[in-house]
Amino acid sequence: MGAAYFYHLTRRPLEATLPMLLDKARGAGWRVAVRGVAAARLEWLDERLWLGPEDGFLPHGLAGGDHDADQPILLTTGVDMPNGAQCLMTIDGAPVTPDEVGTLERVCVLFDGNDAAALDTARGQWKALTGAGCAAQYWSEESGRWEKKAER
């Protein structure tokens, strides 16, 4: 059974934090699905990932292509994970279910701590997942480095 890790972004933006988490997930040998709610936002993120350093390149693709199943990291708005992901990372309040937390190695929920609506959504997801018996951790970068602030 996996766990949900909540990442409260307050100092670094998504485009700086997500590559670090993707690199760690790939280092663990996991295939990853990054689930968002808007195709345009995922296209923007795709561009940012292509602009990363050559020595830190993260192989990825946008869902809807001929090679979705081959992508180590798949950016998607869908709930299916044709790349066989063992790790799901959600952004912008994308949904996650207790079943996904239970069957995947890890679920990461990244949310903007400077956005009241994003905070409310993340709190609701925390309550829903922990209420369903899922293991969860809450991580904050408030101090300038990532620190675990809560665990259930």
Q: What is the pLDDT of residues 105-120, one digit of tens each?
A: 999 999 999 999 999 9
DSSP state of 96: -
Mean predicted confidence (pLDDT) in 73-99: 97
Considering the chain, what is the average pLDDT of its residues?
Answer: 96
pLDDT score, position 77: 98
The confidence band for 13, taking pLDDT boundaries of 50, 70 and 90, is very high
Phi, psi dihedrals of residue 65, rounded to the nearest 5°: -95, 180
| Whether the predicted pLDDT of 1 surpasses 80 | no
Distance CA 81, CA 88 (A): 9
Residue 64, token pair as written in the block: 């809807």
pLDDT score, position 53: 78
Rounded to a whole number of angstroms, the distance between the first and last alpha carbons of the chain is 14
| Whether the predicted pLDDT of 55 surpasses 90 | no
The model's pTM is 0.96
CATH class of 3-151: alpha beta
If phi > 0 it is left, if psi is from -120 to 50 it is alpha, else beta; for residue 107 that is beta
| Whether the predicted pLDDT of 54 surpasses 80 | no
DSSP state of 141: -
| Whether the predicted pLDDT of 28 surpasses 90 | yes
Mean predicted confidence (pLDDT) in 41-64: 91
The residue extents of the domains of the chain are: 3-151
Classified as helix, coil or strand, 45 is helix
Phi, psi dihedrals of residue 109, rounded to the nearest 5°: -110, 110
Mean predicted confidence (pLDDT) in 79-95: 97
The Cβ-side half-sphere exposure at 28, using a 13 Å CA radius, reads 13
Mean predicted confidence (pLDDT) in 67-89: 97
